[in-house]
Structure 1
Amino acid sequence: MHNLLIGIAGGTGSGKTSFALEIMKHFPEGDVVLVDQDSYYKDLSDLPFEERKKVNFDHPGSVDFDKLIEDLKALKNNVPIKKPVYNFVTHTREKDKFTTVVPKKVIILEGIMIFVIPELRELIDIKLYVDTDADVRVLRRIVRDINERGRDLDNIIEQYLNQVKPMHEEFVEPSKRWADLIIPEGAHNREAIRFVVNRIKTLLSE
Protein backbone atom coordinates (compact mmCIF):
# COMPACT_ATOMS: atom_id res chain seq x y z
CA MET A 1 0.00 0.00 0.00
CA HIS A 2 1.21 3.49 -0.87
CA ASN A 3 1.57 6.11 1.83
CA LEU A 4 -1.56 8.24 2.20
CA LEU A 5 -1.46 11.75 0.70
CA ILE A 6 -3.79 14.37 2.20
CA GLY A 7 -4.15 17.66 0.31
CA ILE A 8 -5.22 20.84 2.10
CA ALA A 9 -6.02 23.76 -0.21
CA GLY A 10 -7.63 27.17 0.35
CA GLY A 11 -6.95 30.84 -0.20
CA THR A 12 -3.96 32.69 1.18
CA GLY A 13 -4.30 33.10 4.95
CA SER A 14 -7.21 30.66 5.17
CA GLY A 15 -5.56 28.56 7.89
CA LYS A 16 -4.32 25.59 5.87
CA THR A 17 -1.14 25.12 7.89
CA SER A 18 -2.97 25.49 11.22
CA PHE A 19 -5.48 22.85 10.14
CA ALA A 20 -2.68 20.52 9.07
CA LEU A 21 -0.91 20.93 12.42
CA GLU A 22 -4.13 20.16 14.29
CA ILE A 23 -4.49 16.92 12.32
CA MET A 24 -0.88 15.99 13.06
CA LYS A 25 -1.48 16.25 16.81
CA HIS A 26 -3.73 13.18 16.63
CA PHE A 27 -1.03 10.86 15.27
CA PRO A 28 2.33 9.62 16.56
CA GLU A 29 5.16 11.93 15.52
CA GLY A 30 6.70 9.34 13.24
CA ASP A 31 3.51 8.74 11.26
CA VAL A 32 2.91 12.13 9.58
CA VAL A 33 5.00 14.58 7.54
CA LEU A 34 4.01 18.01 6.21
CA VAL A 35 5.02 19.28 2.75
CA ASP A 36 4.24 22.85 1.63
CA GLN A 37 3.64 24.04 -1.92
CA ASP A 38 5.43 27.33 -1.17
CA SER A 39 8.83 25.60 -1.02
CA TYR A 40 8.43 24.82 -4.72
CA TYR A 41 8.29 28.33 -6.13
CA LYS A 42 10.52 28.61 -9.18
CA ASP A 43 14.00 30.03 -8.67
CA LEU A 44 14.15 33.61 -10.02
CA SER A 45 17.85 34.23 -9.43
CA ASP A 46 18.37 34.84 -13.15
CA LEU A 47 16.20 37.98 -12.95
CA PRO A 48 17.13 41.38 -11.47
CA PHE A 49 15.56 41.86 -8.04
CA GLU A 50 13.14 44.54 -9.24
CA GLU A 51 11.88 42.16 -11.93
CA ARG A 52 11.46 39.34 -9.40
CA LYS A 53 9.14 41.53 -7.34
CA LYS A 54 6.83 41.91 -10.35
CA VAL A 55 6.30 38.16 -10.80
CA ASN A 56 2.77 36.95 -10.09
CA PHE A 57 3.35 34.41 -7.31
CA ASP A 58 -0.36 33.60 -7.16
CA HIS A 59 -0.43 32.22 -10.71
CA PRO A 60 0.18 28.45 -11.20
CA GLY A 61 3.07 29.28 -13.55
CA SER A 62 5.13 30.54 -10.60
CA VAL A 63 5.33 27.07 -9.02
CA ASP A 64 7.60 24.19 -10.10
CA PHE A 65 4.78 21.65 -10.14
CA ASP A 66 6.89 19.11 -12.06
CA LYS A 67 9.34 18.92 -9.15
CA LEU A 68 6.52 18.85 -6.59
CA ILE A 69 4.76 16.00 -8.38
CA GLU A 70 8.02 14.08 -8.72
CA ASP A 71 8.74 14.45 -5.00
CA LEU A 72 5.23 13.45 -3.93
CA LYS A 73 5.34 10.32 -6.08
CA ALA A 74 8.62 9.42 -4.39
CA LEU A 75 7.23 9.98 -0.89
CA LYS A 76 4.14 7.90 -1.65
CA ASN A 77 6.49 5.10 -2.69
CA ASN A 78 8.66 5.37 0.46
CA VAL A 79 11.55 7.21 -1.20
CA PRO A 80 13.07 10.20 0.70
CA ILE A 81 13.25 13.56 -1.08
CA LYS A 82 15.31 16.74 -0.93
CA LYS A 83 12.77 19.57 -0.64
CA PRO A 84 13.94 22.98 -1.93
CA VAL A 85 14.51 25.85 0.51
CA TYR A 86 12.91 29.03 -0.83
CA ASN A 87 13.84 32.53 0.27
CA PHE A 88 10.75 34.75 0.19
CA VAL A 89 12.74 37.94 0.74
CA THR A 90 14.99 37.48 -2.32
CA HIS A 91 12.52 35.34 -4.36
CA THR A 92 15.17 32.69 -4.98
CA ARG A 93 15.95 29.13 -3.93
CA GLU A 94 18.82 28.84 -1.50
CA LYS A 95 21.73 27.37 -3.45
CA ASP A 96 23.01 24.02 -2.21
CA LYS A 97 20.41 24.01 0.57
CA PHE A 98 17.54 21.57 0.92
CA THR A 99 15.43 19.83 3.54
CA THR A 100 15.50 16.05 3.59
CA VAL A 101 11.96 14.72 3.93
CA VAL A 102 11.58 11.12 5.04
CA PRO A 103 8.42 9.26 3.91
CA LYS A 104 5.71 8.66 6.52
CA LYS A 105 2.43 6.75 6.56
CA VAL A 106 0.57 10.04 6.14
CA ILE A 107 1.86 12.89 3.94
CA ILE A 108 0.05 16.21 4.27
CA LEU A 109 0.45 18.64 1.37
CA GLU A 110 -0.79 22.20 1.82
CA GLY A 111 -0.94 25.01 -0.72
CA ILE A 112 -3.28 27.40 -2.47
CA MET A 113 -3.08 25.79 -5.92
CA ILE A 114 -2.68 22.07 -5.25
CA PHE A 115 -6.09 21.19 -6.76
CA VAL A 116 -5.51 23.28 -9.91
CA ILE A 117 -3.08 20.88 -11.64
CA PRO A 118 -4.83 17.65 -12.76
CA GLU A 119 -1.78 15.36 -12.41
CA LEU A 120 -1.16 16.61 -8.88
CA ARG A 121 -4.83 16.39 -7.97
CA GLU A 122 -4.92 12.75 -9.02
CA LEU A 123 -2.11 11.87 -6.59
CA ILE A 124 -4.06 13.15 -3.58
CA ASP A 125 -6.10 10.57 -1.66
CA ILE A 126 -8.15 13.01 0.44
CA LYS A 127 -8.74 16.57 -0.78
CA LEU A 128 -9.70 19.19 1.81
CA TYR A 129 -10.48 22.86 1.16
CA VAL A 130 -10.29 25.35 4.04
CA ASP A 131 -12.88 28.07 3.42
CA THR A 132 -12.33 31.33 5.36
CA ASP A 133 -13.79 34.82 4.87
CA ALA A 134 -11.75 37.07 2.58
CA ASP A 135 -11.35 39.85 5.15
CA VAL A 136 -9.85 37.43 7.68
CA ARG A 137 -7.52 36.00 5.05
CA VAL A 138 -6.18 39.36 3.90
CA LEU A 139 -5.50 40.51 7.46
CA ARG A 140 -3.58 37.31 8.16
CA ARG A 141 -1.59 37.77 4.95
CA ILE A 142 -0.64 41.34 5.87
CA VAL A 143 0.69 40.22 9.26
CA ARG A 144 2.58 37.27 7.75
CA ASP A 145 4.15 39.20 4.88
CA ILE A 146 5.35 42.00 7.15
CA ASN A 147 6.66 39.77 9.94
CA GLU A 148 8.01 36.82 7.95
CA ARG A 149 8.68 37.96 4.38
CA GLY A 150 10.09 41.47 4.73
CA ARG A 151 7.33 43.23 2.80
CA ASP A 152 5.96 46.73 3.37
CA LEU A 153 2.25 47.53 3.61
CA ASP A 154 2.00 49.42 0.30
CA ASN A 155 3.59 46.50 -1.55
CA ILE A 156 1.25 44.00 0.13
CA ILE A 157 -1.86 46.00 -0.74
CA GLU A 158 -0.77 46.47 -4.36
CA GLN A 159 0.04 42.78 -4.72
CA TYR A 160 -3.26 41.75 -3.15
CA LEU A 161 -5.40 43.92 -5.42
CA ASN A 162 -3.48 43.24 -8.65
CA GLN A 163 -2.50 39.58 -8.19
CA VAL A 164 -3.76 37.75 -5.10
CA LYS A 165 -7.46 38.62 -5.38
CA PRO A 166 -7.86 38.07 -9.16
CA MET A 167 -5.81 34.84 -9.06
CA HIS A 168 -7.87 33.58 -6.11
CA GLU A 169 -11.04 34.18 -8.10
CA GLU A 170 -9.64 32.61 -11.27
CA PHE A 171 -7.82 29.57 -9.87
CA VAL A 172 -8.10 28.95 -6.13
CA GLU A 173 -11.79 29.46 -5.41
CA PRO A 174 -12.97 27.38 -8.42
CA SER A 175 -10.61 24.54 -7.40
CA LYS A 176 -12.70 23.77 -4.32
CA ARG A 177 -15.13 21.89 -6.56
CA TRP A 178 -12.53 19.12 -6.54
CA ALA A 179 -12.49 18.89 -2.73
CA ASP A 180 -13.87 15.86 -0.93
CA LEU A 181 -14.69 18.10 2.03
CA ILE A 182 -14.98 21.90 2.37
CA ILE A 183 -14.07 23.06 5.88
CA PRO A 184 -15.32 26.46 7.10
CA GLU A 185 -12.96 28.26 9.51
CA GLY A 186 -10.13 25.71 9.37
CA ALA A 187 -8.50 24.79 12.68
CA HIS A 188 -11.40 26.32 14.64
CA ASN A 189 -13.72 23.66 13.20
CA ARG A 190 -13.28 20.91 15.79
CA GLU A 191 -15.92 18.62 14.25
CA ALA A 192 -14.15 18.72 10.89
CA ILE A 193 -10.84 17.86 12.55
CA ARG A 194 -12.40 14.85 14.28
CA PHE A 195 -14.03 13.72 11.04
CA VAL A 196 -10.82 13.99 9.01
CA VAL A 197 -8.70 12.25 11.68
CA ASN A 198 -11.16 9.35 11.87
CA ARG A 199 -11.23 9.04 8.09
CA ILE A 200 -7.43 8.92 7.90
CA LYS A 201 -7.29 6.27 10.63
CA THR A 202 -9.89 4.20 8.77
CA LEU A 203 -7.93 4.33 5.52
CA LEU A 204 -4.69 3.40 7.31
CA SER A 205 -6.34 0.34 8.83
CA GLU A 206 -7.68 -0.98 5.51
Structure 2
Amino acid sequence: HLSRFRDGQEVEIPEYSHALNARVPSVRSIVASRCDVLFVDGLYVLRHDLVRSQLDLKIFIDVNTDACLARRISRDKRERCRTEESVAAQWESTVLPGFEAFIRPSRLRADIIV
Protein backbone atom coordinates (compact mmCIF):
# COMPACT_ATOMS: atom_id res chain seq x y z
CA HIS A 1 0.00 0.00 0.00
CA LEU A 2 2.68 2.51 0.96
CA SER A 3 4.66 2.26 -2.28
CA ARG A 4 1.45 2.50 -4.34
CA PHE A 5 0.35 5.50 -2.29
CA ARG A 6 3.72 7.21 -2.76
CA ASP A 7 3.41 6.62 -6.51
CA GLY A 8 0.06 8.45 -6.55
CA GLN A 9 -2.05 5.34 -7.11
CA GLU A 10 -5.41 4.74 -5.46
CA VAL A 11 -5.16 2.70 -2.26
CA GLU A 12 -7.96 1.01 -0.35
CA ILE A 13 -7.58 1.40 3.41
CA PRO A 14 -9.32 -1.16 5.64
CA GLU A 15 -11.58 0.29 8.32
CA TYR A 16 -11.66 -0.84 11.94
CA SER A 17 -14.55 -0.67 14.38
CA HIS A 18 -13.62 -0.20 18.03
CA ALA A 19 -17.22 -0.99 18.92
CA LEU A 20 -16.84 -4.44 17.32
CA ASN A 21 -13.10 -4.82 18.03
CA ALA A 22 -12.64 -5.94 14.44
CA ARG A 23 -12.16 -4.80 10.88
CA VAL A 24 -15.39 -4.05 9.07
CA PRO A 25 -16.13 -4.99 5.44
CA SER A 26 -16.02 -1.39 4.20
CA VAL A 27 -12.84 0.24 2.93
CA ARG A 28 -11.87 3.83 2.29
CA SER A 29 -10.22 4.68 -1.03
CA ILE A 30 -7.62 7.43 -1.08
CA VAL A 31 -5.22 8.84 -3.64
CA ALA A 32 -2.13 10.80 -2.70
CA SER A 33 -1.60 14.14 -4.29
CA ARG A 34 1.99 15.13 -4.99
CA CYS A 35 3.66 16.06 -1.73
CA ASP A 36 7.17 16.39 -0.34
CA VAL A 37 6.39 14.91 3.07
CA LEU A 38 4.19 11.95 3.93
CA PHE A 39 3.60 11.11 7.59
CA VAL A 40 2.87 7.48 8.38
CA ASP A 41 1.80 6.75 11.94
CA GLY A 42 0.77 3.69 13.83
CA LEU A 43 1.73 1.50 16.73
CA TYR A 44 3.44 -1.13 14.57
CA VAL A 45 4.93 0.98 11.78
CA LEU A 46 8.55 0.55 12.88
CA ARG A 47 8.11 -3.16 13.54
CA HIS A 48 7.88 -4.20 9.88
CA ASP A 49 11.03 -4.28 7.71
CA LEU A 50 9.12 -3.68 4.48
CA VAL A 51 7.49 -0.53 5.84
CA ARG A 52 10.68 0.78 7.48
CA SER A 53 12.61 0.37 4.22
CA GLN A 54 10.24 2.85 2.56
CA LEU A 55 10.61 5.54 5.23
CA ASP A 56 13.22 8.29 4.97
CA LEU A 57 13.00 9.28 8.63
CA LYS A 58 11.67 7.19 11.49
CA ILE A 59 10.48 8.86 14.70
CA PHE A 60 9.36 7.10 17.88
CA ILE A 61 7.22 9.14 20.29
CA ASP A 62 8.17 7.81 23.73
CA VAL A 63 5.31 8.62 26.10
CA ASN A 64 5.22 7.72 29.79
CA THR A 65 2.98 4.66 30.24
CA ASP A 66 1.11 6.35 33.11
CA ALA A 67 0.11 9.14 30.72
CA CYS A 68 -0.94 6.54 28.13
CA LEU A 69 -3.15 4.77 30.66
CA ALA A 70 -4.75 8.04 31.80
CA ARG A 71 -5.55 9.03 28.19
CA ARG A 72 -6.88 5.55 27.44
CA ILE A 73 -9.19 5.60 30.48
CA SER A 74 -10.50 9.04 29.53
CA ARG A 75 -11.08 8.06 25.89
CA ASP A 76 -12.65 4.68 26.62
CA LYS A 77 -15.03 6.09 29.23
CA ARG A 78 -16.09 8.89 26.88
CA GLU A 79 -16.17 7.08 23.51
CA ARG A 80 -16.68 3.41 24.35
CA CYS A 81 -18.87 3.56 27.48
CA ARG A 82 -16.37 1.55 29.49
CA THR A 83 -15.63 1.76 33.19
CA GLU A 84 -12.28 2.84 34.58
CA GLU A 85 -11.94 -0.57 36.22
CA SER A 86 -12.46 -2.48 32.97
CA VAL A 87 -9.96 -0.30 31.12
CA ALA A 88 -7.37 -0.67 33.89
CA ALA A 89 -7.85 -4.45 33.96
CA GLN A 90 -7.38 -4.71 30.19
CA TRP A 91 -4.34 -2.43 30.43
CA GLU A 92 -2.66 -4.71 32.97
CA SER A 93 -3.61 -8.01 31.32
CA THR A 94 -3.00 -7.31 27.63
CA VAL A 95 -2.21 -3.73 26.63
CA LEU A 96 0.90 -3.06 28.71
CA PRO A 97 2.43 -6.53 28.18
CA GLY A 98 1.81 -6.18 24.43
CA PHE A 99 3.35 -2.72 24.43
CA GLU A 100 6.47 -3.96 26.22
CA ALA A 101 6.80 -6.99 23.93
CA PHE A 102 5.98 -5.53 20.52
CA ILE A 103 5.93 -1.73 20.49
CA ARG A 104 8.59 -0.42 22.88
CA PRO A 105 11.37 -2.50 21.21
CA SER A 106 10.66 -0.72 17.91
CA ARG A 107 12.07 2.49 19.44
CA LEU A 108 15.51 1.01 18.71
CA ARG A 109 14.67 1.14 15.00
CA ALA A 110 13.90 4.87 15.06
CA ASP A 111 16.23 7.58 13.81
CA ILE A 112 14.85 9.99 16.40
CA ILE A 113 13.23 9.34 19.78
CA VAL A 114 11.08 12.18 21.09
Report TM bin, short chain: 0.7 to 0.9
Matching of residues 159-174 of structure 1 within 5 Å: 159-174=90-105
Report the equivalent of 1:146: 77
Residue in structure 1 matched with residue 13 of structure 2 by the alignment: 83
2:3 paired with 1:73: yes
Aligned to 1:92: 22
Q: In structure 1, how many angstroms separate the alpha carbons of the residues matched to 2:9 and 2:80?
A: 31
1:120 is matched with 51
1:180 to 108, 111, 114: 111
- Asked if 2 retains the 8 angstrom alpha-carbon contact of 1:89 and 1:150, the reply is no
- Residue 40 of structure 1 is matched in structure 2 by none
Matched, 1:107 2:38: yes
Instruction: Pick closer, same or farther for the CA change 1:149–1:84 going to 2, 3 Å.
Output: farther
Q: Secondary structure at the match of 1:142?
A: helix
Q: Distance in 2 between matches of 1:164 and 1:172?
A: 10
Q: Compute the displacement of 1:150 (Å).
A: 3.7
TM superposition score normalised by structure 1:
0.50
Structure 1 position 146, deviation (Å): 2.1
User: CA RMSD of the aligned region, Å?
Assistant: 1.6
**Cα-to-partner distance string for 1:136-155 (whole Å, 9 max, x where unaligned):** 11101111222223433232
- Counterpart of 1:53 in structure 2 is none
Give distance in 1, aligned partners of 2:21 and 2:97.
Answer: 21
Q: What CA deviation, in whole Å up to 9, does each residue of 1:126-178 have, x standing for no partner?
A: 10111121211110111122222343323211211011111111121111111
Greater relative CO (CA pairs within 8 A, separation 6+): 1
How far apart, in 1, do the equivalents of 2:2 and 2:78 lie? 30
Unaligned runs of 5+ in 2: none
- Extract unaligned runs of 5+ from structure 1: 1-70, 184-206
| Percent identity over paired residues | 27
How many residues are matched?
112
Match of 1:134 among 36, 60, 65: 65
Contact 1:142 1:153 in 2 (8 A): yes
Q: Contact conserved, 1:83 with 1:101, CA < 8 A, in 2?
A: yes
